Amino acid sequence: MSELRKVFDSLPTPSSVKSLRAAKLRNFSNKVWICKDKKKQPVILLKSSDKFLKQNVPPISLNNIEISHCQKRIVETGSKRDEIFCSIITCKSNDEDLLDLFFDVLDTLFKKFSFPVEPKKIKELLEKLVKLFESIKNAPKKSVQGLWAELFLIYRSNNHVKVIECWHKETKAKYDFQNQKNFLEVKSTIQQERKHTFSLEQAQAKEGQNVVIASLLLEPDDEGLTIKNLEMLIKNKIKNRSDLIEELIYQIRSTLGTDWKKGNQDRFSESFASSNLKFFDLKDIPKLDEKVKTRGVEKIKFTSNLDFAPEVKKSIFKAKSSLYRAAL
């Protein structure tokens, strides 16, 4: 649970619909207030008298979040009541998962700034917050299982920073991880055989490229790890890199889209995944020949059984790239 969430949960309900129960956040130069309204929903106040935000960031109203500027609000701290001039971020929900997401994002973004924050920095913060909440309204780009496998590979690596820096920024990328001409693609299955689907294009590396396939057999497990669990474990490994934590949060939610809640639900066994992770050279897997292409035929896909392929010699590939040294 984030520090912001802990502060919010400790706040009582305000005495009036016209006021907010508030707490000033430590280390934020009395410029940030976390509040609870009469509906028991969170409200963040960014104290400012600058009209830059009103002129450059229009009011925003999404399904779950609302932002406005140059507003006056009455805040209650203990028996004291104050009126402050501020920008307001309201999370219009009491859903526990959504509240966790709201506070996780803000907690990460706030850690990047020194206070008092320039209005342009607040604009940047708000734009990133809106971008993330808009992304969870979109169709999923990948299955929960597929994303779980990628995050598991990041988590079990010996250099989390390096692997995240190599992680694709777009889910439509040909391979999941890239370091110059060295690539790593993650495939997973809950079947007993190591069968994975490839596109014909994906199975054909260009000259001079190295492509390693990380093949994971997964097992659903009620006591296993969720995507949310893996996210928290990875965050603890990179806690001094708020930029990568921000990227991690956005990548997970934008990938899952409307399925983002499943990231808190579907579980897979950590021990089973660890015992059944193998690496293969793309050149060695069973695949269709490039010559199979026929004019007018596109988006060719096939299933390859990697049980018929030899595992890579890790030492050879680790000598080729820092990505392989971190992940294999």
pTM given for the model: 0.89
Q: How far is CA 286 from CA 22, 191, 236, 307, in A?
A: 62, 18, 39, 9
Q: Do residues 303 and 187 lie in contact, with contact meaning Cβ atoms separated by under 8 Å?
A: no
Q: Do residues 251 and 223 lie in contact, with contact meaning Cβ atoms separated by under 8 Å?
A: no
Q: Do residues 182 and 324 lie in contact, with contact meaning Cβ atoms separated by under 8 Å?
A: yes
> 226 is written with which tokens?
């969720």
130 exposure class (CB count in 10 Å sphere: 0-12, 13-18, 19+): middle
List of E strands, 167-272: 177-179, 182-189, 195-199, 210-217, 220-225, 268
pLDDT tens digits in sequence order for the chain, 328 residues long = 788 899 899 999 998 888 899 988 776 656 788 999 999 999 998 876 666 666 667 788 888 899 888 888 888 888 888 888 888 999 999 999 999 999 988 888 877 766 566 677 778 888 888 889 999 999 999 999 999 999 999 999 999 999 999 999 877 789 999 999 999 999 999 999 999 999 998 999 989 999 999 999 999 999 999 999 999 999 999 998 988 998 999 999 999 999 999 988 999 999 999 999 999 999 999 998 777 767 788 888 999 999 999 999 999 999 999 999 999 9
